[in-house]
Amino acid sequence: MFFNSIDFAIFFPIVFILYWIVAKNLTLRNILILASSYVFYGWWDWRFLFLIIISSLVDFIVGQKIYKTDSKKKKKGYLLISLIVNLGFLVYFKYTNFFIDTFVESFRLFGQELEVSTLNIILPVGISFYTFQTLSYTIDIYRKQLKPTKDILAFFSFVAFFPQLVAGPIERASHLLPQFYKTYKFNYNLVKSGLLLMAFGLFKKMVIADRAAIIVNQVYNNPADYHGYETILATVLFAFQIYCDFSGYSDIAIGIARTMGFDLMKNFDSPYFSKSITEFWRRWHISLSTWFRDYVYIPLGGSRNGKYRTYANLFIVFVVSGLWHGAAITFVIWGAIHGVIIVIEKALTKVRKKIFTSKKHILNYIIALPFTFFIVCFAWIFFRANSFNDAMMIINNSLKKETKSIFDLGLEKHELILLFSTILLLLLFEIFHKKYNVAKILSKLYLPFRWSFYMLIVFTIIIFGIYGENTIKEFIYFQF
């Protein structure tokens, strides 16, 4: 079930009404949340519900076992069970064919052809997200940073919470799980704020991301036919497509949770205004980058064992992050590019501090910010390309003279003007929002002006949103 579908437009109001009017006590509300979450997820394929249920049950039991035993050996054994079950599901469904292909290709390099075919495996939606979320629960208990819950209903609801189930934010049990122990009272301001955030997310997805996707798909699905500014424009537009698509999903998820009294973590913070790749990853997919920091980078040794070990740890984290995003060499290269640049930035920390004497130094804006955006866009080529060969073709073709008009890329003139205008409007909004609290400003406006603004967003989505059977409704990060 997509947030931008008719199905969800029917589903959410029903859940919302039942949650606030019918389910008056905590148990009923958690039952409703769990049932709604399973319906939401089962809308794709009900068979994969068993994966979530098994994962939830294993980690609930393992968490109790780890906490109750004093034996370090037994604690590690129980933790290993959680890792094997959760990562076992993830590896089987997401990486089996990748490993088979890699195995066959490695023999091909030595002139040997293996008659091995890939398996017909369907990737469960959101498996990478809920796997990491439930794993953090058992790991935190093992580290004595969290006590296990005795409320199985609350725990199952935490794992399957439908707003952020399939594409995050990846929540920690220490933050989200305690919220299932509370009975919230209806708060008009929170509901209004949540609905506004949902509308903003739908605007980013349907008006900007889905419109940019038309050009991006046209070029990236036919890389041999486009050159020069055509490929450059498609790459830049993909940067905004994936940002508006993914941050739009996060906005909707946070907004839905907020209307029900829940607080989800912030997942994006104007990443394209970053002045280094290091800063970019503090602003982009924050829940994932902090997860890798706490559960991969620090266990590897972090920055505790000398600078060269630190560089190696950073690089490993980003290569693993690339592989987490997809079972293809292009994703590994994407992660490696970010890893290499971050290692270079780490090595040149002192030099950078001398050149850029303050965060507001003019060189940050005329050199660091554009260079960072260039690196991010260059890496996006590998992320978006259908194959490694396509990625290299796009890079090579971007240096050649263009052969087509900008109006031959899939959008008419007025559609292009609308796309560029809304992207500019979004960037200006993010600059403004950094200095001023937009929600507070709106709350102080007279009622007619405030509701006029709300209606403007709604009608903009209705009038200028991308619709139709041939358009992409699915959010990009559903495939991860």
Torsion of CA 126, 292, 285, 374, to 10 degrees: -120
Torsion of CA 52, 38, 161, 317, to 10 degrees: 30
169 preceded by a cis bond (ω within 30 of 0): yes
| Catalytic residue, candidates 227, 285, 325, 338 | 325
Angle at Cα 297 formed by Cα 144 and Cα 247, nearest 5°?
95
Cβ neighbours of 120 (radius 10 Å): 6
The pair of three-digit structure tokens given for residue 379, joined into one six-digit string: 């890496």
Contacts of 366 (CB under 8 A, 6+ apart): none
The number of residues in the chain equals 480
Give Cα separations from 158 to 130, 185, 462 (angstroms): 10, 19, 33
Q: Do residues 186 and 149 touch, judged by C-beta distance below 8 A?
A: no
C-alpha–C-alpha distance, residues 178 and 182, integer Å: 7
Mark 179-216 as b/e (b = at least 16 C-beta within 10 Å).
bbeeeeeeeeebbbbbbbbbbbbbbbbbbbbbbbbbbb
Nearest residue to 410 (alpha-carbon basis) of 217, 225, 226: 217
Angle at Cα 241 formed by Cα 236 and Cα 247, nearest 5°?
125
Give SS3 for 441.
Answer: helix
Q: Do residues 161 and 257 touch, judged by C-beta distance below 8 A?
A: yes
Cβ neighbours of 333 (radius 10 Å): 19
C-alpha–C-alpha distance, residues 293 and 181, integer Å: 28
The pair of three-digit structure tokens given for residue 159, joined into one six-digit string: 């794992």
178 preceded by a cis bond (ω within 30 of 0): no
DSSP 405: -
Active site residue 325: yes
C-alpha–C-alpha distance, residues 51 and 122, integer Å: 13
**Which residues are catalytically annotated?**
325
